[in-house]
Amino acid sequence: MSLNEDALRSALEELAGARLQSLRGADGIATIVLDVGGMDRMERDRLEMAVRDAARKAGAQDVRLAMTAEKRQRRIIAVGSGKGGVGKSTLSANLAVAMARLGRKVGLVDADIYGPSQPRLLATEGRRPEAEGNKMIPVPSPFGVPMLSMGHLVQPGQAIAWRGPMAGNALGQLIDAHWGDAEIIVVDLPPGTGDVQLTMLQKHKPAGAVIVSTPQDLALMDATRAIGLFEQGQVPLIGLVENMAGYICPHCGEESDPFGIGGAEAAAKTMNLPFLGRVPLDLAIRRDSDAGHPPAAGEGPQAEAFATIARGVLRWLDGQG
């Protein structure tokens, strides 16, 4: 059986995609170069076994496999707010899912050390991360977004009473994990401008920040403080999101604005910041989030609201090169 190079190339492109750097077949020998940058040992071993098996099935008498480790750029997107209760965690989870649905490799870090909620939002409650060496392996979610949270490391409902340095160290372990081929890490920060946020800015330097606010003036004042923190840390601001903007009664269909509408958009214009979009105050979003089914993973106007924000974030990222 002679080596069918075309069949092998097709199989390798399906297995490895952009990781296939080169393939050459001659005299029954398949010489293959793969980029394994960002993959952990288990992922590399699985890929190697699959590639060697594909080469043998294509008729290779010998397989010469080189695995390079070109460093891939991984960018951190911080999602922050000036106060709690504005839906920042829900926005973070759905932003990550929406970007994954748009074809990006995305991971999620729940950096809200004292009040982790992402395990519930992405249906990974009760899961514990494995470890390789001194680094954690993120927990896979059903929505294509691997994630890590303090909620995976403590018992549900357990109080976390840590001082700033301990919380900062915990954040470092969550971010410096084995993220595989993830190109974007969304970090759901705690509300406000405390120790965890400062550690994030100083040690992990996000590529950019998304600020979440509700439309009313008080929330916008708090959002301005969060914006000031990122500006002082020289972290670019990707834009502002208005959450809980407008409510449609599920019974009569009438629309009302209990928190107002348009305040965040107007504030973004005043501060010369991009406005990324608004998410309505929708019972379905709350219900699905509590059930571990992020609306961004579905269809309909709720999913499209998050997809619009995700497209804006990705345009900004792509524009940064």
- Domains assigned to the chain: 5-68 (3.30.300.130), 75-319 (3.40.50.300)
Q: Rounded to an integer, what distance in angstroms lies between the CA atom of residue 65 and that of residue 52? A: 8
For residues 14 and 57, the answer to whether their CB atoms sit within 8 Å is: no
pTM passes above 0.75: no
pLDDT of 96 reads: 96
* pLDDT (0 to 100) of residue 305: 93
What's residue 72's pLDDT? 55
Q: How far apart are CA 111 and CA 149, in angstroms?
A: 7
Ramachandran angles phi, psi of 81, nearest 5° = -150, 160
pLDDT score for 143: 95
DSSP run (H or E) holding 227: helix 217-232
pLDDT tens, the chain, 321 aa long: 678 888 888 888 888 876 788 888 888 888 988 887 767 778 888 899 999 999 899 888 889 988 876 555 789 999 988 767 778 899 999 999 999 999 899 999 998 766 778 999 999 988 888 888 778 899 999 999 999 988 777 666 555 555 555 666 777 788 888 898 899 999 998 876 666 777 777 778 899 999 998 876 555 677 787 788 888 888 999 999 988 776 666 666 666 665 556 677 787 888 888 999 988 878 788 888 888 999 999 998 889 999 999 999 999 988 875
Residues 6+ apart with CB under 8 A from 279: 87, 91, 241, 242, 243, 244, 245, 285, 302, 305, 306, 309
> Which pLDDT score, from 0 to 100, does residue 122 have?
94
